[in-house]
Chain A
Amino acid sequence: MSYTALAVAGVLAAVVADLFAFRVRLVRRRAFWTAYAIIIVCQLVTNGVLTGFRIVRYDPDAILGPRIAYAPVEDLLFGFALVLWTLDWWVWFGRRGRRRPTATGRRRRPTATGRSQVDGS
């Protein structure tokens, strides 16, 4: 498969996993899109450096051709799939571990449960 086809498939697979496997539904969340808006700017800069200085080179036959900030447009799809896949796992593990103290740090737990506190969930 060409990079183009793989990148499209990667985005679709990540979105399907987000909605139906993890059921985290990040693509419907404001916090995700806000974070992604920030990430994409950083990605364009980083990727621009990597491709602009030709640290990474692409086979012209594997890509469509159009480039944004030196990088093939496919990189945007690749980046989106990478970010969504990453954040889904992050949230999913957080969901699994949320019976323990999480993002806001150690909370007071009702002692009746007899649960010990564990950090670093």
Chain B
Amino acid sequence: MRHLGYLAVLAACLLGTAPLEVFLRTRVYARWRRLVRTLVPVLVVFVGWDLYAIARGQWSFDACRVTGVRLPGGIPVEEVLFFVVVPICAILTLEAVRARRRDWPGWSVGDEPAVPDRPDRAETRPESVPRRTSRGKAGRQPDDRGDASRRREVGDG
């Protein structure tokens, strides 16, 4: 069982954060396409970093506590999964914070819809959001600017 040590840590992370998806409705797993797209550049950069560190001997893994499945470059499969599990936990945490602070001024993250389509949420939106002529063209700059100005108004950052 000892060789499952690293996997057990990862499983604990996933199990520990899973309630956020259920009880706070973080909708991270629900938006799985966005999640998968996010994981790709994370894996590219950090597995790359890890391979470099392994090659240079900066860190190594206890052979007794990993399954022994190694991918090219000598990286244990658990280490690759680490860069899947930890980002998922981080995103779940961010979305959980948002779920508790939704509609609070000054708690935006930057991907909020630019166009008020729910009147009750209108006050959290920048007043400068322009006339929306074409949805395709509205672009991201207006909200960008609006967001920044709103943040200044509430004295955030």
**Which residues of A does B touch, CB under 8 Å?**
2-3, 6, 10, 23-26, 28-32, 34-35, 38-39, 42-43, 46, 49-50, 53-59, 62-63, 79, 82-83, 85-87, 89-99, 102-105, 107-110, 113, 115, 120-121
Contacts and interface: CB of A to CB of B under 8 A. Distances in A.
Given A57-B60, A115-B135, A26 B91 contact: no
Contacts, number: 172
Contact of A62 (B6, B46, B58, B114): B58
Contact of A31 (B42, B57, B108, B114): B108
B41 A56 contact: no
8 contacts: A24-B110, A31-B109, A55-B6, A85-B42, A86-B86, A89-B41, A98-B114, A120-B32
B13 A55 contact: no
Contacts of B31: 102, 120-121
Interface residues of B, number: 64
Interface in B107-129: 107-114, 117-118
Main secondary structure of the interface of B (DSSP, over half): helix
Contact of A42 (B13, B113, B118, B138): B13
Contacts of A6: 49, 52-53
B131 interface: no
Contact of A82 (B83, B113, B144): B83
B9 A25 contact: no
A95 to B, nearest CB: 4
A49 B110 CA distance: 34
Given A31-B107, A56-B62, A98-B112, 7 more contacts: A57-B59, A82-B87, A83-B87, A89-B41, A95-B140, A107-B117, A113-B135
Nearest to B141: A23
Contacts of A62: 53, 56-59
B68 interface: no
Nearest to A87: B94
A56 B5 CA distance: 11
A46 B5 CA distance: 12
